[in-house]
Chain A
Amino acid sequence: MNVLLLSVDSLRRDFLGAYRDRPRTLDYAVDTPNFDRFADRAATFETHYAGSLPCMPARREWLAGVQEFLWRPWGPMEAFDRPIAAEARREDVLTQLVTDHYHYFQHGSHGYYEDFAGFEFVRGHEYDAWETAPRDPDERLYERSADRTADPPHDPGYLNRTAYARNAARLGLDDPEADEADFFAPRVFSRTADWLDENREWDQWFCYVDSFDVHEPFHCPEPYASMYTEQDPTDEDLTFWPYYGPVDEGQSALDDRDLDFVRSQFAGKVTMADRWFGEVLDALDRGDLWDETAVVVTSDHGFFLGEHGWVGKNEPPVYDVLARTPLFVWHPEGDRMGESVDALTSAVDLHPTILELLGVDVPEGTHGRSLVPLLAGADDHRDWALYGYWGSSVNVTDGRYTYLRPTDPEAPSYCYSTTMMNPRRHFTPLTPKTDADAGSFLPYTDAPVWRYRAHSYEQNGAPLLFDTEDDPGQATNLAETEGERHDAMRSLLVEALDALDAPNWQYERLELRTRPKRNG
């Protein structure tokens, strides 16, 4: 069987008609006819959670099956990882990557694309280090996306937002009349459709499509830019690229007009991505591929658009806005097609699922559980799902209750890797860790790794406990009022950490019980 894995970055599930009539914080519906068309055909997973966050950690879960955030932040594939592309290739499966996700080509995240037999890198999104001319960027895009103090146009430093203005100008996206086909999701999905048309003669393939859209910058062409707003999308006072952080202070502050506009441009991008996702579905129809192809559609995480007082991700508590992600799976022989699956599932489960669908053995020591039995009609899958960012809160759900366990920000976190990565500055040159230890610290490999310390940080100062069935917006914290439930979820968190053989310092900084074990 072939497998098509398609991710749409930052795609909030509540923006999809298959999950809600309208997004939780908007008073209008968002048009997603093609995602809905696919959902009608596929199994729709109602209780699917991210694992390691944000972007690259999610991809290591999908591709290598490692729930890495207990040991490591954003970083490369490790020498002991056995990613899907490498395992499938050894079994003579053709492997292909189509992406505009430039993080694969930055500092801090090597090893993800190299195992594919072919890869298509669509250039120019966000900070992609691509275009350096003109030295003075297009004013229209620059003024709406960058800050002259923070992003001096002539400063060649890392992550300068001028990059987007230059990249977009090269693609002609600076023109308000630009053709939508030249934008990013349209190019990624068009190339995917072409690849599906061009590769029908291969016996078996795994195609991984990783769309950086609907990630910011939320720069949309018409008709999408005006689809959900009465504002003039070319108004230089309105940004399409908000900073992450609190919505009411600092560089991330947005007033009501700004926030409404950002929401409208996010919604516009969702509808644009949907329009071009339809091209992929059409190619599957055209090639009569549905009977021989499993199709998995998901996202790495959501994006705060003012909910709980935040914009973006990373620093806020990991509410369901971020962690509860969309997942649709088409299986040609599945018994649940066109139905909803209520069972709790986790991002890391995609790894063994895809390998099983490809007929490739699942490596020992990986952390996922195949979804194939669920697709065949089983009801039970897992009792817990862990999710979070390395070095901060560790969060667990049983599928109904979510429990966000805070860390002591003064306690250290430890990074384990064969690379001396920058645990907090992923995109800058590596620096030597002169305080590193070496040893076989990881429970899922005998290979020695470096271990070095870094700051923990606070997402929530106190435990947060929510009943997502009665309170899907997670507005009422039950941690202080529901003592028995709090105890039960704390025990579930310990059970999950035990199951993954988490290091002792995780229990200590989370102020959970410790236990004698070998891993440091």
Chain B
Amino acid sequence: MAIEFCLGNVDPETRRRLRSLPDAREATCLEHCGHCDAGPFLVVDGNVSVGGSHGAVLDGAGER
């Protein structure tokens, strides 16, 4: 599962946890500023996923 996240969308603790995941890539901007402004989001396997928290987004992606 390829995970991409924006630096501007994570707090320091979330960033640390995401960086520890294999296949996670941090970007300065993934060009989804509307989603980024609205709340937590990730790009999972090339697809934008939103949720109440980054953990919830990851959980949802893992269940799919």
Q: A149-B48, A150-B48 are in contact. Are A155 and B4 (CB under 8 A)?
A: no
The answer, yes or no, to whether A21 is at the interface (CB within 8 Å) is no
Residues of chain B from 22 to 53 with CB closer than 8 A to chain A in the complex = 25-38, 43, 45-48
Nearest A residue to B47 via CB reads A149
Interface string of A413-425 (1 = CB under 8 A from B): 0000000001111
Residues of chain A from 138 to 181 with CB closer than 8 A to chain B in the complex = 147, 149-150, 155-161
Are A159 and B28 closer than 8 Å at their CB atoms? no
For the complex, give the distance between the alpha carbons of A149 and B47 in Å. 7
For the complex, give the distance between the alpha carbons of A250 and B37 in Å. 21
Looking at chain B's contact residues, the main secondary structure is mixed
Q: Which residue numbers of A lie inside 8 Å of B, CB to CB?
A: 147, 149-150, 155-161, 243-246, 249-251, 253, 314-315, 389, 409, 422-429, 454-455, 457
Interface centre among A157, A250, A429 (most CB of B within 10 A): A250
The answer, yes or no, to whether B56 is at the interface (CB within 8 Å) is no
For the complex, give the distance between the alpha carbons of A229 and B52 in Å. 44
B8 → chain A closest CB, angstroms: 3
Are B37 and A157 closer than 8 Å at their CB atoms? yes
Q: A159-B31, A246-B25, A422-B8 are in contact. Are A429 and B43 (CB under 8 A)?
A: no
Looking at chain A's contact residues, the main secondary structure is loop
The listed residue (A157, A251, A455) touching B34 by CB distance below 8 A is A157
Using Cβ atoms and an 8 Å threshold, which residues of chain A touch B47?
A: 147, 149-150, 251
The listed residue (A149, A243, A250, A424) touching B31 by CB distance below 8 A is A243
Q: A428-B36, A455-B7 are in contact. Are A250 and B29 (CB under 8 A)?
A: no
Are A250 and B25 closer than 8 Å at their CB atoms? yes
A294 → chain B closest CB, angstroms: 36
For the complex, give the distance between the alpha carbons of A150 and B27 in Å. 16
For the complex, give the distance between the alpha carbons of A422 and B28 in Å. 12
Interface string of B6-32 (1 = CB under 8 A from A): 111100100100010000011111111
Q: Which residue numbers of B lie inside 8 Å of A, CB to CB?
A: 2, 4, 6-9, 12, 15, 19, 25-38, 43, 45-48
Are B29 and A314 closer than 8 Å at their CB atoms? yes
Are A425 and B33 closer than 8 Å at their CB atoms? yes
Are A150 and B32 closer than 8 Å at their CB atoms? yes
For the complex, give the distance between the alpha carbons of A425 and B8 in Å. 6
For the complex, give the distance between the alpha carbons of A245 and B9 in Å. 17
The listed residue (B15, B30, B46) touching A253 by CB distance below 8 A is B46
The listed residue (B7, B33, B46) touching A251 by CB distance below 8 A is B46
Using Cβ atoms and an 8 Å threshold, which residues of chain A touch B15?
A: 455
Using Cβ atoms and an 8 Å threshold, which residues of chain B touch A457?
A: 7, 26, 28
Q: A245-B27, A251-B30, A314-B27 are in contact. Are A425 and B37 (CB under 8 A)?
A: yes
Are B7 and A157 closer than 8 Å at their CB atoms? no
Nearest A residue to B15 via CB reads A455
For the complex, give the distance between the alpha carbons of A457 and B43 in Å. 18
Are A159 and B32 closer than 8 Å at their CB atoms? yes
Q: Which 9 A-B pairs have the closest CB atoms?
A: A157-B34, A424-B8, A425-B8, A158-B33, A159-B33, A150-B48, A428-B37, A251-B46, A158-B34
Using Cβ atoms and an 8 Å threshold, which residues of chain A touch B38?
A: 157
Using Cβ atoms and an 8 Å threshold, which residues of chain B touch A429?
A: 37
A244 → chain B closest CB, angstroms: 7
Nearest A residue to B27 via CB reads A315
Are A250 and B2 closer than 8 Å at their CB atoms? yes
Using Cβ atoms and an 8 Å threshold, which residues of chain A touch B37?
A: 157-158, 425, 428-429
